[in-house]
Structure 1
Amino acid sequence: MAEQKKLEQDDMTAARAQYHHGDLRAHLIETVRILVEEKGADGFSISEAARRAGVSSAAPYKHFHDRNEIVRAVALAGIDRMRDQMDEVALAARGTRLGPIVALGTQYSEFARAEPGVFRLMFGLTKGHEKDDEIKARGDACADVVRREVRLVMPEGTPDMEIARRAHMLHMFVHGHAFLEIDGKNDLDLTAEQEHALMVDIAERIMA
């Protein structure tokens, strides 16, 4: 028993030695992201996260004040990932008029399916986001990608309010679609090709 305990302590010491402070913070965020996907945002403890990360139970508190702060960091990282992915697919799809709009809707849904726990967490934390400047700024950066592509489709001189209205309509559709998908409530059971056709249809209707 004593030998087993010593081995566990040695393993933890070795794992801690692999991370300097900056790496440990990122490692903890990734560990908690995985736990969120496995158990939900409320289904684990900091001590479990530390154990998974191979560090002492005190180590997370060197970088985060409490559990809420590390979960918030996971959500912020998720928003950044989604923005980067949306930006990438939109730029790559600029060969046709509505290509970027269709790509944005498809990527949004794919992100939700790939990271449903983080997706739910991101939007769960945005309640009252006007009081959190960082979350608001990150969320606005995602919306800016959509507005940018909508502006390129609309006639020159289209008022900002109309750009924002069209972008909001697109978000309403794909956001609802994404949640129906991850909640298993989409009775259509769409193939990738059918989902693409759906995104084309909604883009044509909203951007007409």
Structure 2
Amino acid sequence: MSESEATLPDRRSTYHHGDLRERLLEVVRDLVETHGPEGFSVAEAARRAGVSTAAPYKHFKDRTDLLNALVSDAMDRLAGQMAAERDRYPIGTYEAVAGIGQAYIDFAKTEPGIFRLMFGLTEGHEDEDALQQKGNLCREIVETACGACIGAEATDQAAVLSAYILWTSVHGHAFLSIDKKNKAEADGLKDWHFLMTVTRAVLDASARR
């Protein structure tokens, strides 16, 4: 071994306990975006993180557990972005509701691999209470904003149904956008115009009921 090699730190020794977990999630996030959730192995993630193939199992039970942790992190970030966009506008306005949708679409376009993983490709996440709670938090952000628009509590049926209709509309638009299924329509319909149109239509209908 040369003198220069001897002075190089062992990368594996530079990680603290929590750092390695975050580094693995960062690596897997990049792998999912590049290859999809089925296109990588835990061993490859370990190699890219510069640790032994056994190291990830100190933090995650298995590959599914690692992916669920990635989804959990993504749900936190999505909820934060939705709330931040909502707060750019006055409470009770169409713009506040549309802002939530804009954050949702932006997230899908920025991290399409993670977005697909969150809503269809993670095994066992329906049995993870923590993930379900985070999903509920995202839904409650929409329900609260809808309720404020129509003068109702977030738990009122009108607010809940309005939020569901808007969520499914925005969700479908987001998936069609990242899958390039609606290119012709998207070229002539900007996200914000779409969001304001469906927001007005749904909330005005709810207010008249």
Instruction: Please list, as runs of the form range in 1=range in 2, the aligned pairs for 1:1-208 lying within 5 A after superposition.
Output: 14-94=10-90, 97-124=93-120, 129-156=125-152, 160-188=156-184, 190=186, 194-208=190-204
TM-score (norm 1): 0.88
Gaps of 5+ in 2: 205-209
Q: Secondary structure at the match of 1:56?
A: coil
Q: Secondary structure at the match of 1:188?
A: helix
With over 3 angstroms needed to count, the CA separation of the structure-2 counterparts of 1:199 and 1:188, relative to structure 1, is: farther
Q: State the alpha-carbon separation in 2 of the partners of residues 87 and 99 from structure 1.
A: 13
Aligned amino acid, residue 93 of structure 2: R
| Cα contact 2:24–2:45 (8 A) shared by 1 | yes
Gaps of 5+ in 1: none
Q: Which moved more, 1:72-81 or 1:123-132?
A: 123-132
Q: Deviations over 1:41-73 (max 9, x none)?
A: 010111110111111111101111111111111
Pairwise CA distance, 1:164: 0.6
- The CA RMSD over aligned residues, in Å, is 2.5
| Cα contact 2:143–2:155 (8 A) shared by 1 | no
Pairwise CA distance, 1:94: 2.1
Aligned amino acid, residue 156 of structure 2: D
Q: State the alpha-carbon separation in 1 of the partners of residues 188 and 104 from structure 2.
A: 13
Q: State the alpha-carbon separation in 1 of the partners of residues 146 and 26 from structure 2.
A: 33
